[in-house]
């Protein structure tokens, strides 16, 4: 977006703006209660349900009181936009528009491919339907071909769209003071059906792509004086329709008319006498057809968007007036146009886009409020219940096993070192979809639950950890030791006794605070250098009155007592003593 060279505010302290374009800009009024009364003497079917009229009623986005000029008209072709700007749009500093599909024969496609009248009073020669038309002579395929030729010819859609932009900019130059900003927003069309549907969607997307490319490369015509503050914006609101189109998954036939999440009108008749809309009928063969309701004279009616295609090149049945292809009031013009909820979604999206673009006359988007800092709470279990773990062992479980799993899985609970004094449950609980960062996981578990609890205590000489939990908002990290142990204030404890048996020595070694998670494997490994005899090793966990939490029994060859003491210390014992003989 190029920088503006200035841009004064309006002297009358008002914000004048306009909506121009076709029926996707005007909406389609379908009864007297929703006609946009101030301007619809032209029978444009402007409706107060439209996104433009809803924007006018929403005073939250404009800095100054609005002066709204509703110039859009159903059936508009691009060469009529200059007239709308000059005669109907006033002196706007901001213009929103949607147009182009009428030039590209989309009204003709809807009529010839989807809504062909079948009433006996209208036996027109539409030809075969799309899926049965192998030679392409049916009017559905003929109009689709016209669309394709028009969009693929650079002298057609692309040139017409560029000319329309030129006409709008020239009209703005003639009507506006050159120092005022002028913003033109062009919204693309959403794809209105899912899945003949794929062809229609592809053509809609082609129209949108051409418009976006023209706007991206557009250079305003030379004017004198230069209108230096022109900005042209392009929006693609297709995503707003996700879940709200025809033929969504698991929708029934009737849902294509009445589903609460369908944002587009289907062809339904409206009986003004009863105030009721009539959907579909089923004949004796079970074929669902659209017929006129009782009491509606189909030979009378208005020239509507579907019924009176303003594109003179649209293919219609021979020798027939295009105005009689459809019949009825605005409710026959509504199909493939937005309902109220869709207009509201477009309105909200358009307002937000102007705020994001910092349009001078639009209130800036409120800066996102900083989320409140989650309340943190650390609860330490302490060592009073004699359930605790060794710091380095639980740190390894946290940082090399638990946190790598939590990063990919989110809320989890894992048990480590089962069946040993170091048995521990580590747990993370968070809202659905929560995934912690690896650094956060380690910081909360190791840095807080482990290291911020039970430290710097003379009654805890080996820095044992009783665990606890850290709560951050709705996320909880926990470390919960499971095994009762000897009192923590005893630190590490160790005993060794040797008995000489002539050909071998028999040993009983016990401990507390080491060999507490590996079932004595480290100690056994050290003893292999002390002539450990095969099949004599026995190791069990269990508390004793002398302070032990495990006991190992084994045999070695004679004269290995000193070696056994050194092996025990190497495995974590507080000293290398060993009593007894041999």
Q: In the chain, where are the structural domains located?
A: 15-356, 376-481, 492-580
**Using 50, 70 and 90 to split pLDDT, how confident is the model at 129?**
confident
Q: What tokens does 327 get?
A: 């019949």
**What pLDDT is attached to residue 278?**
58
CATH code given to domain 15-356: 3.40.50.1110
Who contacts 187 (Cβ-Cβ below 8 Å, separation ≥6)?
Answer: 96, 97, 98, 234, 235, 237, 346, 350
Q: What is the average pLDDT across 68-86?
A: 88
Describe the crossing of helices 197-216 and 139-152 by its angle, rounded to 10 degrees. 20
**What pLDDT is attached to residue 39?**
63
The runs of H, that is alpha helices, within 375-437 are 391-397, 403-409
Q: Flag whether pLDDT at 242 surpasses 70.
A: yes
Q: Flag whether pLDDT at 470 surpasses 70.
A: yes
DSSP lists the bridge partners of residue 167 as: none
Who contacts 220 (Cβ-Cβ below 8 Å, separation ≥6)?
Answer: 165, 166, 169, 227, 230
Query: What share of the chain has pLDDT > 70, as a percent?
Result: 79
User: Which range, of 58-72, 163-177, 485-499, averages the lowest pLDDT?
Assistant: 163-177
CATH code given to domain 492-580: 3.30.70
- Give the Cα separation of 301 and 421 in Å (integer): 89
DSSP string over 260-319: TT--B----EEETTTTEEE--EE-TT--EE--PPTT--TTS----TTTS---TT----TT
Half-sphere exposure of 107 (CA within 13 A, CB side): 31
**What pLDDT is attached to residue 440?**
94
Which is more confidently placed, 188 or 134?
134
DSSP string over 167-212: HHHHHHHHHS-TTS-EEEEEEPPPP-B---HHHHHHHHHHHHHHHH
Three-class DSSP labels, 566-579: HHHHHCCCCCCCCE
**CATH 3.30.70.1280 corresponds to the domain 376-481:** no
The three-class DSSP label of residue 429 is: strand
Q: What is the average pLDDT across 95-108?
A: 82
DSSP lists the bridge partners of residue 425 as: 415, 480
Q: What tokens does 273 get?
A: 């006498």
Give tens-digit pLDDT for 38-60.
665 677 888 889 999 999 999 89
The three-class DSSP label of residue 469 is: strand
């Amino acid at each position: 977006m190029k920088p503006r060279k200035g841009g004064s505010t309006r002297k009358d302290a008002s914000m004048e703006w306009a909506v121009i374009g076709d029926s996707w800009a005007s909406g389609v009024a379908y009864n007297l209660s929703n006609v946009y009364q101030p301007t619809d003497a032209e029978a444009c079917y402007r409706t107060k349900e439209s996104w433009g009229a809803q924007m006018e009623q929403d005073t939250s986005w404009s800095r100054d009181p609005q002066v709204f000029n509703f110039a859009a008209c159903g059936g508009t072709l691009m060469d009529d936009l200059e007239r709308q700007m000059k005669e109907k749009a006033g002196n706007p500093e901001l213009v929103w528009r949607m147009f182009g599909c009428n030039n590209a024969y989309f009204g003709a496609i809807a009529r010839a491919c989807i809504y062909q009248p079948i009433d006996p009073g209208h036996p027109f020669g539409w030809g075969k339907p799309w899926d049965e038309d192998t030679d392409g002579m049916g009017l559905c395929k003929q109009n689709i071909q016209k669309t394709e030729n028009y969009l693929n010819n650079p002298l057609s859609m692309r040139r017409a769209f560029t000319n329309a932009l030129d006409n709008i900019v020239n009209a703005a130059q003639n009507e506006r003071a050159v120092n005022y900003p002028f913003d033109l927003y062009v919204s693309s069309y959403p794809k209105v059906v899912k899945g003949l549907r794929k062809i229609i969607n592809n053509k809609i997307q082609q129209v949108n792509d051409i418009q976006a490319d023209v706007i991206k490369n557009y250079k305003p015509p030379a004017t004198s004086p230069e209108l230096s503050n022109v900005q042209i914006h392009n929006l693609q609101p297709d995503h707003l329709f996700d879940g709200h189109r025809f033929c969504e998954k698991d929708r029934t036939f009737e849902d294509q008319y009445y589903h609460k999440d369908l944002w587009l009108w289907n062809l339904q008749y409206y009986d003004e006498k009863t105030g009721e809309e009539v959907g579909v009928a089923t004949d004796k063969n079970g074929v669902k057809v659209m017929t006129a309701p009782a009491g509606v004279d189909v030979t009378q009616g208005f020239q509507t968007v579907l019924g009176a295609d303003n594109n003179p090149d649209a293919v219609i049945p021979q020798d027939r007036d295009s105005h009689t292809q459809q019949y009825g009031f605005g409710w026959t013009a509504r199909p493939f146009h937005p309902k109220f909820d869709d207009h509201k979604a477009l309105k909200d999206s358009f307002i937000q886009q102007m705020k994001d673009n910092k349009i001078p006359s639009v209130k800036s988007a409120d800066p996102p409020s900083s989320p409140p800092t989650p309340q943190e709470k650390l609860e330490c279990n302490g060592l009073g219940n004699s359930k605790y773990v060794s710091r380095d062992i639980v740190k390894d479980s946290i940082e090399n096993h638990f946190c790598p799993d939590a990063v990919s899985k989110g809320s989890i609970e894992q048990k480590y070192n089962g069946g040993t004094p170091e048995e521990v449950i580590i747990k993370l609980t968070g809202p659905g979809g929560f995934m912690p960062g690896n650094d956060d996981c380690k910081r909360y578990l190791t840095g807080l639950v482990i290291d911020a609890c039970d430290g710097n205590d003379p009654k805890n000489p080996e820095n044992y950890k009783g665990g606890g939990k850290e709560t951050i908002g709705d996320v909880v990290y926990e470390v919960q030791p499971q095994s009762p142990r000897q009192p923590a204030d005893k630190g590490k404890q160790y005993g060794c006794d040797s008995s000489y048996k002539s050909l071998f020595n028999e040993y009983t070694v016990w401990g507390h605070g080491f060999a507490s998670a590996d079932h004595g494997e480290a100690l056994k490994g050290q003893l292999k250098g002390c002539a450990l005899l095969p099949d004599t090793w026995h190791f069990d966990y269990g508390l004793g009155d002398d302070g032990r939490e495990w006991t190992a029994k084994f045999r070695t060859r004679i004269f290995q007592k000193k070696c056994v003491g050194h092996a025990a210390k190497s495995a974590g014992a507080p000293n290398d003593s060993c009593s007894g003989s041999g």
